[in-house]
Chain A
């Protein structure tokens, strides 16, 4: 799951399939991903994993990096 998310972000959000991106990279804090990018990632996660992410869950603990997102999605599907 983590790998799928990494690939999506590299390709669709960063527009650079060849860039290095790990599951621990700080995406939002570093400015790699802006608010619009974040909205698109949410939409991708909801569609890809058939989940609904409530706004109250949009917190640092669940979205600070890809690893956190992966764990969160797994928890929802749970």
Chain B
């Protein structure tokens, strides 16, 4: 097994009738997934798609995503997830940036596609893998209106009828593990999106390492909360198929209605859950006490720190599950883990933990020298799961890497995470903030994340976000706070001045109803700074 799609071939051999993916009440077995992926692959190849070509997956959370991913991979092409809820300009950028000529989509996206596609984008075809009479609730056929719109752009539309005419045999393509499998675009905190290129090797390495670490079995059922463009989805789309288990795709509507989502977890008897902390925190007020979630044995979270106090409350509701803090920039997927069999005893930040297999780390000071033991430094990672580079950005790629040659002719390439860490006495890595979340106020260095964590310790505060605005050469700290009890700004400032040095107390505190988030569920600092 050396390509990501070998997973589903292997699982179809051993467990042909196991459900590979489920969505609401519909499912695809491994056998069906292999057949339909091959059909899609043959169609793509007949349209001229060659090894390494980028094919866009322009879909909401739905069952089609599974066929899209494995169909594109089986054609030897590279899947590029596009977020239909992002501004059209963002998707237009991605389509042009990596030269996407074909899209996999479905009828529910017609309106979004109409707002996004223009003639100069050069999209040659749009394929809907499912038919109107089949298992997709979104109906596979295209509306007449949409087909006309596409025709005017010289874009052809295809549906399941076209797939059914294709072969279901494995396409004979020559592709190696080091060839590209997928590109995930990341916005970063500034500037234009970068396409993180991942190979079959990095994707499969992640699947193997995570399957081992969490002892994933063919009987496991994972709740996939993340959209495809966020790398948390790789557990559902790569790891579960690797072992032959089931991935339950949580629908868009469920992600917005936590009470329904918790009911779904119970109904599907999910054994593994993986999402950003925000989705988990929402469980707490959604009637979780009434549900039987004893089947859950692992709850993984990543993307952001999970405040210990909320984590503890949730863990007390799910005593059967072991929680795992997953850390890793999208450039390397995952690189550390910290498992919590029991709720945290205090409110200290949860550690990143230990480095996992097939991975090496370095901790560097500002001069690229190894930090002394126990000292803070930037984390560098070398891993089987690391990216090949940023699409068409050799400059940024070079800048992000540190290379050394300990043995002549054998280069070791590390990725600079931009995250500050330190190893504690217990040997666990601790996260101390982003290098770019560090500012200087009146000459003092401050970690914005530290101020955020301090704000959250106040009993009236539900959540907070801190950001700095730079005016000339001075930086001003601003805070937005979501309260759970009444509180005056002056009281909060007083509390902070007792916990933090004067220069670290925010100059501006605003109370708001909800903290703006990105589509991945992380705090959207960009919006906060501009509004």
A residues at B contact (CB < 8 Å)? 26, 28-31, 34-36, 38-39, 43, 55-61, 63-64
Contact = CB atoms under 8 A, between A and B. Distances in A.
Contact of A36 (B252, B263, B286, B514): B514
Contacts, number: 56
A57 B108 CA distance: 27
A26 to B, nearest CB: 8
Contact of B513 (A39, A55, A56): A39
Contacts of B252: 28-29, 31
B298 to A, nearest CB: 25
25 contacts: A26-B253, A28-B257, A29-B60, A29-B253, A30-B60, A31-B60, A31-B84, A31-B108, A35-B256, A36-B514, A39-B514, A43-B513, A55-B258, A55-B259, A55-B286, A55-B287, A56-B286, A58-B258, A58-B259, A59-B260, A59-B263, A60-B260, A61-B260, A63-B257, A64-B253
Interface of B: 60, 84-85, 108, 112, 251-260, 263, 285-287, 513-514, 516-517
A36 B519 CA distance: 11
Contacts of A61: 260
Given A31-B252, A36-B517, A60-B254, 9 more contacts: A28-B256, A31-B112, A34-B85, A35-B517, A43-B513, A55-B258, A55-B285, A56-B285, A64-B253
Contacts of B263: 59
Contacts of A60: 253-254, 257, 260
Max chain B CB contacts within 10 Å: which of A26, A43, A58? A58
Nearest to B108: A30
A48 B60 CA distance: 32
A11 to B, nearest CB: 19
Contacts of A34: 85, 256
Contact of B257 (A26, A30, A43, A58): A58
Nearest to A31: B85
B84 to A, nearest CB: 6
Contacts of A26: 253
B519 to A, nearest CB: 8
Contacts of B84: 31
A30 B254 CA distance: 12
Nearest to A60: B260
Contacts of B60: 29-31
B260 A38 contact: no
B112 to A, nearest CB: 7
A53 B413 CA distance: 53
* 10 A-B pairs with the lowest CB-CB distances in the bound complex, closest first: A55-B285, A56-B287, A29-B253, A28-B253, A59-B260, A60-B260, A59-B259, A58-B259, A28-B256, A58-B257
A63 B252 CA distance: 13
Nearest to A64: B253
A29 B251 contact: yes
A28 B261 CA distance: 13
Nearest to B112: A31
Nearest to A32: B111
A51 B252 CA distance: 26
B512 to A, nearest CB: 11
A36 B112 CA distance: 19
A56 B112 CA distance: 31
B252 to A, nearest CB: 6
Interface core residue of B85, B253, B256, B285 (most chain A CB under 10 Å): B256
B401 to A, nearest CB: 36
A57 B287 CA distance: 9
Contact of A57 (B256, B259, B516): B259
A49 to B, nearest CB: 18
B501 to A, nearest CB: 34
Contacts of A35: 255-256, 517
A9 B257 CA distance: 18
Contacts of A30: 60, 108
Residue among A30, A34, A39 with the highest chain B CB neighbour number at 10 A:
A30
A30 B59 CA distance: 11
Contacts of A43: 513
A31 B84 CA distance: 8
Contacts of A56: 259, 285-287
Nearest to B109: A31
Contacts of B257: 28, 58-60, 63
B217 to A, nearest CB: 30
Contacts of A28: 252-253, 256-257
A17 B514 CA distance: 25
A40 to B, nearest CB: 8
A71 to B, nearest CB: 16
A61 B514 CA distance: 24
A58 B286 CA distance: 8
A39 B516 CA distance: 11
Contacts of B85: 31, 34
Nearest to B289: A56
A66 to B, nearest CB: 14
A53 to B, nearest CB: 11
B198 to A, nearest CB: 26
Name the residue in A34, A35, A36, A39 with the highest tally of chain B Cβ atoms < 10 Å from its Cβ: A35
Nearest to A33: B256
